[in-house]
């Protein structure tokens, strides 16, 4: 059995050369090889292309490389979680490319498998797909995405043996597993290195043939950024909870459900074990439970797609981001509940970008909008200026077309019945007159 060299984080950083394409593992700071990245930030290495779900957090992980001016380009899914990265992109200080989260994961998996590229319906017809080849397959417009490879992959695992076999922990698989296959040099930062044979072959997630170097560095709570503790404060008022309760009423026993951030997260608080509803999170978990009661963070618990620590229910499972989005695109998610910025009379959804605002990240929204069997959108009926968000035609960048099945606002519930926006229910505290007054889109009234 081969023996993989064990090196220092400083030596690992020295393997990165000017102009390299770097694959950086992690989802936020969870499963993030922060120690090696921070050593790289101490060097003068420059003109790097950094590929990751996001660019760390402000001055953490890839965020530190950004602030040092070491990045020429960043490619990712959700830069919004690092305001400094958004500003750098919008001010033209760094090049960027935005990909839907599932597309990014699959592109890395394809690159690692020696596949030149693939077609996906995700992002078809949107700004994200501009300039890309498209083709009609199975009656759907699909976008061609090239496989992604890097010069160096810097990943994080929990345990390694001296042959380079890796084992991940909880939701720390995320992008790490695919990235371990998709670079010329793969460096794994791990919590612990054990002798060969100490890891059961059944429990190895990345075989040692993919790994070139190991770095043993202990994870600390300071390395976990915003996921170090629960620390989330949900704003719960009566109207928001009414919306969550109405969305919850649409769920059936046995449903596999993905919840977006914002109001949809309130639905999780309504689910009881006897409801038999299984929560899915894009970063690699099925069977998401409530937040830890002890306030513990990602050192001890998995995290959800909002990077908030959660618990695992009996029967839960963990997997990587590529497998997670295979579940979504493959039609294995029964219901997705997401927030929105606009929904129009054709069932089009806009929920990822507002021109001029510090938003730069589509995350998993496009994959979920096109892949979930049923899509429920919750949003405030009007904006701060009183303009309707239920519009005749979306003015903001589209997430997906003709995808919305149900729309829930604080005023009313709409369904798309035979392709028509249809008012089916008035929520408490509102009236038909108010709904008519505040809805810009034309709709059919079908109140019971």
Distance CA 423, CA 38 (A): 53
Distance CA 379, CA 389 (A): 8
Distance CA 427, CA 380 (A): 13
Question: Which residue of the set 39, 282, 291, 410 is catalytic?
Answer: 282
Active site residue 252: no
Distance CA 11, CA 322 (A): 30
Distance CA 217, CA 177 (A): 19
Distance CA 402, CA 424 (A): 19
The closest of 271, 297, 154, 298 to 212, measured between CA atoms, is 154
Asked if 186 and 210 count as a contact pair (C-beta separation under 8 A), the reply is yes
Asked if 260 and 337 count as a contact pair (C-beta separation under 8 A), the reply is yes
Distance CA 6, CA 212 (A): 9
Distance CA 98, CA 362 (A): 8
DSSP string across 286-332: EEE-PPPTT-B-TTTS-B-TTS-B--EEEEEEE--HHHHHHHHHTT-
- Active-site annotation, residues: 282
């Amino acid at each position: 059995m081969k023996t993989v060299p064990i090196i220092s984080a400083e030596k690992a950083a020295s393997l990165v050369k000017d102009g390299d394409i770097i694959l950086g593992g992690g989802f936020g700071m969870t499963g993030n090889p922060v120690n090696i990245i921070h050593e790289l930030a101490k060097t003068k290495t420059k003109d790097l292309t950094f590929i990751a779900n996001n660019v760390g957090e402000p001055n953490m992980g890839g965020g530190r490389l950004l602030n040092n001016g070491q990045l020429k380009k960043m490619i990712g899914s959700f830069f919004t979680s690092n305001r400094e990265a958004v500003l750098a992109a919008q001010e033209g200080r760094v090049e960027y490319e935005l990909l839907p989260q599932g597309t990014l994961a699959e592109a890395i998996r394809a690159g690692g498998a020696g596949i030149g590229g693939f077609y996906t319906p995700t992002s078809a017809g949107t700004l994200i797909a501009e300039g890309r080849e498209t083709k009609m397959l199975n009656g759907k417009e699909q976008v061609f995405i090239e496989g992604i490879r890097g010069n160096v992959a810097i990943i994080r695992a929990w345990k390694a043996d001296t042959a380079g076999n890796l084992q991940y922990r909880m939701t720390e698989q995320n992008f790490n597993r695919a990235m371990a296959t998709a670079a010329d040099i793969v460096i794994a930062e791990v919590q612990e290195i054990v002798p060969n044979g100490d890891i059961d072959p059944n429990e190895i997630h990345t075989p040692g043939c993919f790994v070139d170097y190991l770095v043993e560095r202990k994870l600390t709570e300071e390395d976990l950024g915003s996921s170090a503790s629960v620390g989330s404060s949900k704003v719960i008022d009566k109207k928001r909870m009414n919306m969550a309760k109405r969305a919850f009423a649409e769920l059936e026993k046995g449903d596999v459900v993905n919840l977006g951030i914002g109001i949809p997260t309130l639905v999780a608080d309504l689910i009881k074990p006897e409801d038999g509803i299984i929560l899915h999170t894009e970063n690699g978990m099925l069977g998401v439970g409530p937040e830890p009661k002890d306030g513990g963070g990602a050192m001890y618990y998995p995290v959800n797609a909002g990077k908030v620590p959660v618990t695992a229910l009996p029967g839960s499972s963990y997997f990587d981001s590529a497998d997670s989005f295979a579940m979504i695109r493959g039609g294995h998610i029964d219901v997705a509940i997401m927030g929105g910025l606009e929904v129009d009379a054709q069932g089009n959804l806009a929920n990822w970008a507002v021109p001029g605002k510090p938003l730069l990240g589509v995350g998993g929204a496009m994959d979920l909008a096109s892949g979930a069997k049923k899509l429920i959108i919750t949003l405030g009926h009007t904006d701060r200026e009183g303009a309707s968000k239920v519009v005749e035609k979306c003015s903001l960048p589209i997430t997906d077309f003709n995808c919305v099945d149900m729309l829930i606002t604080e005023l009313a519930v709409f369904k798309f019945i035979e392709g028509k926006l249809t008012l089916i229910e008035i929520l408490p505290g509102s009236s038909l007159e108010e709904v008519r007054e505040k809805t810009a889109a034309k709709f059919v009234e079908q109140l019971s």
